[in-house]
Amino acid sequence: MQDWDVIVVGGGNAALCAALSARESARRVLVLERAPEDEAGGNSRFTAGAFRVVYGGVEDIKRIVPDLTSEEIARTDFGTYTADQFFDDMARVTQYRCDPDLTELLVRRSLDTLLWMQKKGIRFVPIYGRQAFKVDDRFKFWGGLTVESVGGGPGLVDALTRAAQKNGIEIWYSARATALIADDDGVHGLRVKREGKTLDVRAKSVVLAGGGFQANAEMRARYIGPGWELAKVRGTRFNTGDVIRMALAIGAASAGNWSGCHAVQWDRNAPEFGDLAVGDAFQKHSYPWGIMVNATGRRFVDEGADFRNYTYAKYGRVVLEQPGQFAWQIFDAKVLHLLRDEYRIKRVTKLSANTLEELVRKLDDVNADAALAEIRAYNKAVRADIPFNPNIKDGRGTTGLAVDKSNWANTIDTPPFEAYAVTCGITFTFGGLRINTDAQVISTDGDAIPGLFAAGELVGGIFYFNYPGGTGLMNGSVFGRIAGASAARAAESTHQSKRASGT
Ligand SMILES: Cc1cc2nc3c(=O)[nH]c(=O)nc-3n(C[C@H](O)[C@H](O)[C@H](O)COP(=O)(O)OP(=O)(O)OC[C@H]3O[C@@H](n4cnc5c(N)ncnc54)[C@H](O)[C@@H]3O)c2cc1C
């Protein structure tokens, strides 16, 4: 049996931040990653690396991105993203359910945590491509989502892994934690299946950062609801909820929105799980500039209800609820230049047409006559008197439709037309373990379980119903850092009490 100060379960952003933080004071830190090395990094590796962070203006951006050039500064309006705005966004999109104490930490520690990561060797850049628009030759950022890790998710995981190695943290790949070793005094280690062999590994404290249960079809149907076994998984196939279950098995309390998840519009023909060669490019997030119809040919959601950062995470569910679990996004030539890069990948379910009649005939599995009537009715309802402006919520909506569009309503009348087939892609689940502000896992009796900490996707109580883009990584980093520091402190006090008692 091996002895460690801190063992971290998981190989994504939350786990590696926890390990780096623990290693600042603990000597022997081990990371257990279930995936083999070439698939390691969890959902974090599938991301674009976008981080939602509080910043007061260009000076803070310069601290996060020290190699920002003066030319970049001159041509960019970074705006600001205040703590109040972050609180408001969290409160609004979670319908005021997000845990106030955990949200407070997420918001207030966001900038400091990003700077801490940067000191560990993680580099960030502004997200010019996806989160800014050009206005009079200057880039203007618009949503509080302003920086991403260099190299996106793969770059983030590589940089964190390099930092872990540099700091003497050991990583075991293909090492699946299967159970916690625990008694009345708390947690003392883990049972692990490493390359097919089961062994017990002792630790003074354990941090759980093994992700949610989205890659487990049975748990999806059981907790999120009927039909969810039919969703595609956007990210890693390894987040099957076993880390949550092993904590529940020793008396950890569950928390949060167990029937909720982050789910987006995702290519209808994407594979069952994420494909690292494609990353997040199966997503189709430019729907605010067009319309969507389902199998009955009808529109079913307000495509322009808000900026995509505030609707994309809940519209996957809306598509799953449509007959056949799919929809077609439709655009005309006027907005094609606004479509995000993901619309131009090779593996895309796309069609083009020169007339609306041809377009609706080509839409697989859709009632063509109804779709044509729907597009014509929509075109008539557009408030063409209000100018279209993608940088603001322009109020150019429709009036009098069963489902009105609130912003960015353009008529669909200029060929060529393009349509993209989407289904629901689940990103991560919202239900998980209850933690306190030291990232200690709380038991069903309401006490902290000695020696057990948690961070990232498997923590419940932070996200409900919806999610502001870029918060998943920030959440993993902030609480990973806290969990690692708390675990190292707990390990040290176990060590001291053992010394004092002579054991
Ligand atoms: C396509 C896509 C794009 C995204 N884009 C963004 C974005 O740009 N910005 C953002 O903030 N969020 C984004 N997200 C959400 C983000 O990925 C997650 O919120 C975040 O990565 C969660 O980090 P984590 O460390 O908790 O989990 P993960 O990164 O998923 O790590 C969990 C780890 O646990 C391991 N594991 C599981 N079970 C076990 C076990 N039994 N034993 C040992 N290890 C185990 C897994 O192999 C994995 O390495 C995106 C997600 C996807 C899928």
Band of pLDDT at residue 129, cut at 50, 70 and 90? confident
Does residue 461 have a pLDDT over 80?
yes
- Ligand 1 atom with the smallest distance to the CA of 49 is 8
Band of pLDDT at residue 2, cut at 50, 70 and 90? low
Other C-beta atoms within 10 Å of 125: how many?
18
Does residue 1 have a pLDDT over 70?
no
Determine which residue's CA is closest to atom 22 belonging to ligand 1.
457
Using DSSP, state whether 436 is helix, strand or coil.
Answer: coil
- The reported pLDDT for the residue numbered 498 is 67
Other C-beta atoms within 10 Å of 442: how many?
20
Query: Which residue in 349, 347, 173 sits closest to 277, CA to CA?
Result: 347
Find all residues with CB under 8 Å of 359, minimum gap 6, and list them. 330, 351, 353, 417, 419
Q: Give yes or no for residue 457 CB within 6 A of ligand 1.
A: yes
- The reported pLDDT for the residue numbered 164 is 98
Look-up of token digits 């799919």: 326
Q: What is the mean pLDDT of residues 260-268?
A: 96
- Residues 484 and 26: their CA atoms lie apart, in Å, by 9
Residue 209 near residue 29, CB atoms below 8 Å? no
Q: What share of the chain is helix, strand, coil (3-state, %, to 5)?
A: 35, 25, 40
Does residue 327 have a pLDDT over 70?
yes
Does residue 433 have a pLDDT over 70?
yes
Q: What is the mean pLDDT of residues 239-253?
A: 98
Does residue 335 have a pLDDT over 90?
yes
If you ran DSSP here, which 8-state letter would residue 150 be given? T
- The reported pLDDT for the residue numbered 395 is 97
Query: Which residue in 481, 428, 432 sits closest to 461, CA to CA?
Result: 432
Greater model confidence, 134 or 477:
477
- The reported pLDDT for the residue numbered 132 is 72
- Ligand 1 atom with the smallest distance to the CA of 246 is 41
Band of pLDDT at residue 467, cut at 50, 70 and 90? confident
* Pocket residue to mutate for ligand 1, from 33, 37, 43, most atoms within 8 A of Cβ: 43
Q: Give yes or no for residue 427 CB within 6 A of ligand 1.
A: yes
Q: Give yes or no for residue 470 CB within 6 A of ligand 1.
A: yes
Q: Give yes or no for residue 15 CB within 6 A of ligand 1.
A: yes
Determine which residue's CA is closest to atom 18 belonging to ligand 1.
472
Q: What is the mean pLDDT of residues 273-278?
A: 95
Instruction: Please report, in angstroms and rounded to a whole number, the separation of the first and last CA atoms in the chain.
Output: 17
Query: Which residue in 345, 471, 374 sits closest to 93, CA to CA?
Result: 471
Find all residues with CB under 8 Å of 389, minimum gap 6, and list them. 396
User: CA dihedral defined by 469, 470, 472, 477, rounded to 10 degrees?
Assistant: -160
| Percent of the chain at pLDDT exceeding 90 | 90
How far is ligand 1, taken at its centre, from the CA of residue 486, in Å? 21
Using DSSP, state whether 164 is helix, strand or coil.
Answer: helix
Find all residues with CB under 8 Å of 53, minimum gap 6, and list them. 64, 81, 110, 111, 114, 146, 147, 474
If you ran DSSP here, which 8-state letter would residue 387 be given? P
- Ligand 1 atom with the smallest distance to the CA of 51 is 11
- The reported pLDDT for the residue numbered 231 is 97
- Helix runs in 213-353, H state only: 217-219, 242-249, 312-320
How far is ligand 1, taken at its centre, from the CA of residue 403, in Å? 35
- The reported pLDDT for the residue numbered 216 is 98
Query: Which residue in 458, 471, 469, 468 sits closest to 430, CA to CA?
Result: 458
Bridge pairing between strands 29-32 and 170-172: parallel
- Write the pLDDT tens digit of every residue in 177-221: 999 999 999 999 999 999 889 999 999 999 999 999 999 999 999
- Ligand 1 atom with the smallest distance to the CA of 44 is 21
Does residue 495 have a pLDDT over 90?
no
Burial of residue 320 (number of CB atoms within 10 Å: 0-12, 13-18, 19+):
buried
Q: Give yes or no for residue 280 CB within 6 A of ligand 1.
A: yes
Query: Which residue in 407, 387, 411 sits closest to 395, CA to CA?
Result: 407
Q: What is the mean pLDDT of residues 483-498?
A: 88
Residues linked to residue 420 through DSSP beta bridges, in sequence order = 329, 350
Residues linked to residue 147 through DSSP beta bridges, in sequence order = 51, 126
- Bond into 416 cis (ω within 30): yes
- Ligand 1 atom with the smallest distance to the CA of 15 is 25
Using DSSP, state whether 253 is helix, strand or coil.
Answer: coil
- The reported pLDDT for the residue numbered 141 is 86
| pTM of the entire predicted model | 0.93
Other C-beta atoms within 10 Å of 303: how many?
24
Does residue 135 have a pLDDT over 80?
no
Amino acid letter, residue 83 = A
- Ligand 1 atom with the smallest distance to the CA of 472 is 19
- Residues 65 and 62: their CA atoms lie apart, in Å, by 5
Look-up of token digits 């990584």: 473
Query: Which residue in 287, 318, 317 sits closest to 303, CA to CA?
Result: 287
- The reported pLDDT for the residue numbered 136 is 74
Does residue 308 have a pLDDT over 90?
no
Q: Give yes or no for residue 278 CB within 6 A of ligand 1.
A: no
Q: What is the mean pLDDT of residues 426-447?
A: 98
Determine which residue's CA is closest to atom 2 belonging to ligand 1.
47
DSSP labels, 473-486: HHHHHHHHHHHHHH
Does residue 28 have a pLDDT over 60?
yes
